[in-house]
Structure 1
C-alpha cells in the first residue's frame, strides 16, 4: 500500500477518532511513556511562565502528558485532523491549554508564532510528507536555546525490533482496527514506522535542521528499541546545514 499523506491521512484519522483512545489504552505504558518524554524536556518549576507547543496532539494524550508534567505552562495543542481535535476539545482542560486546527506544514498560516520555550511532538514526524521542512519550521518557532522533544516510533535498526513491531501490528492492532473499520489507517501506521528513519538517522536529521545537544533516549517495556525520545535544543548561533 501507499502511505497516506496530507488530506487523506487527516480524513483517516477523522474516521478513527471515535475509537482511537480505546485502542491506545490497550498499549501498555502508552500514557506513562508520553509523560516520561515530557519530563525529558527538563523544564523547571512546572513550566511556569513558559510557552509550550504540542504539535500533533491527536485526541489529547500528549497534551495530558504535558499538563501533568508542566501544569503552569501555557500550552498550545495543534492537530491536522478535525475529528481527533474534536475528541481532544471535548475533554476537560485547564484554562492554560488552547487547541488549534492546523497541519504541521502550515503553522504560521494558522496563526502559530514563536517564540516557544519548548515544542513536544508525539508520533508526528513519520506522518508528514516533508519532515525536514517541518523540523525547520519547528526550529524557527523556538526561542534561542528552546527545547524539542520528539516522542516517536523510530526503530533501533536491529532486526528483532522490526520483527516485534510487525508482530504486534499484524497479530493484535490490525485485526482490531480492521474490525472497527479503520484497517487502512493502521496499515499505514505499521508501514510508516518500518519505512521511516531509525532513531540514529532521525537524530542526524534533527542536527541538520539546526539543533544541538541531540540525544536519543529509549523507552522501557515492549517498546524498547521501537519507541524513543529524541531531545534537542535550538542552537545559537544558527548552525543549520547550509545557513550563513
Structure 2
C-alpha cells in the first residue's frame, strides 16, 4: 500500500484544510485527548516563561490544546501545509502564539531555532518520510532536560485494535472523505497508521534517538489501543553516554 509523501501529501492537506476541522470534530474525544497529552508534558507555571514547539500543528487543534493547558507559554506552531496553516493562523490566538510554514525536517532553514522547553507533536511522525531525522531535529532544538510529547495513532499490536481502526475508517471516515473530494488523503491516513510503528516500536525509536524517561501512555474511549501519548526527555549533558 503506497503512501503519499512530501509535496503530494502537503497538497492533499492543503485541499482538505477547508473541511478538516469539521471531520475531526466528529471524532469523540479528539480535542480532550490532545489536552490530556499536553498535560502529560507536566510543565510548571501554566507554561509561564517557557517556549514550546507545536510541530505539525495542522489547522491549530494541537495549538488550541497547548493554549488551554499552557496559557502563559510562548508557542511556535509549525506545519508544512500552507492551506492548513492558513486556517490555523486565521483563528484568534493569544499574543504568545506564532505560526511558521516549514517541513518538520527543515526547521533551521525556516528560522525555527531552540532551545525549546518542550516539543509537542500530534499526528506527525507517521506522515514524515524519515521519522528518525525528525526525532534528531527535535532532540537538537530541545533544551537540556526539555520534554517531548508525541500524540499519535500508534497501534498496540493487538489484532483487535487494528480491526477497530480499519472498521472506523472504512465504515465512516473514508466514505465521508470521498464525498468531500479528499479520499486520497484519508486513505493515506488510514494506511499510515496500519503501516507505522506499534506504540512499543515507536518508544524504542525514541530511545534510539537519545531520549530518556520514555513512557507510552494510553488514551481513553474507542481509541484505547489505537492512540497513545509517548513522552520523553532530552537528558542532561553527559547522561547520554551512560545510557
Q: TM-score, normalised by structure 2?
A: 0.98
Cα deviation, residue 236, structure 1: 2.1
Q: Which position in structure 2 is the counterpart of 1:237?
A: 237
Q: Which position in structure 2 is the counterpart of 1:141?
A: 141
Alignment of 1:55-204 (within 5 A): 55-204=55-204
**Closer, same or farther: CA 184–239 of 1 in aligned 2, 3 Å:** farther
CA deviations over 1:118-160 (Å, ceiling 9, x no partner): 0000000000000000000000000000000000000000000
CA deviations over 1:48-94 (Å, ceiling 9, x no partner): 00000000000000000000000000000000000000000110001
Structure 1 residue ranges without an equivalent (≥5): none
Cα deviation, residue 26, structure 1: 0.3
Q: TM-score, normalised by structure 1?
A: 0.97
Q: Distance in 1 between matches of 2:196 and 2:179?
A: 26
Q: Which position in structure 2 is the counterpart of 1:37?
A: 37
| Number of residue pairs matched by the alignment | 242
Q: Distance in 2 between matches of 1:108 and 1:208?
A: 22
Q: Distance in 1 between matches of 2:236 and 2:11?
A: 39
Instruction: Give the SS at the match of 2:54.
Output: strand
Structure 2 residue ranges without an equivalent (≥5): none
Cα deviation, residue 237, structure 1: 3.0
Instruction: Give the SS at the match of 1:150.
Output: strand
Q: Distance in 1 between matches of 2:201 and 2:239?
A: 18
Q: Distance in 1 between matches of 2:98 and 2:114?
A: 15
Q: Which position in structure 2 is the counterpart of 1:222?
A: 222
Q: Distance in 2 between matches of 1:174 and 1:41?
A: 33
Q: Distance in 1 between matches of 2:240 and 2:112?
A: 22
Q: Which position in structure 1 is the counterpart of 2:209?
A: 209
Q: Distance in 1 between matches of 2:238 and 2:102?
A: 27
CA deviations over 1:145-176 (Å, ceiling 9, x no partner): 00000000000000000000000000000000
Cα deviation, residue 239, structure 1: 6.0
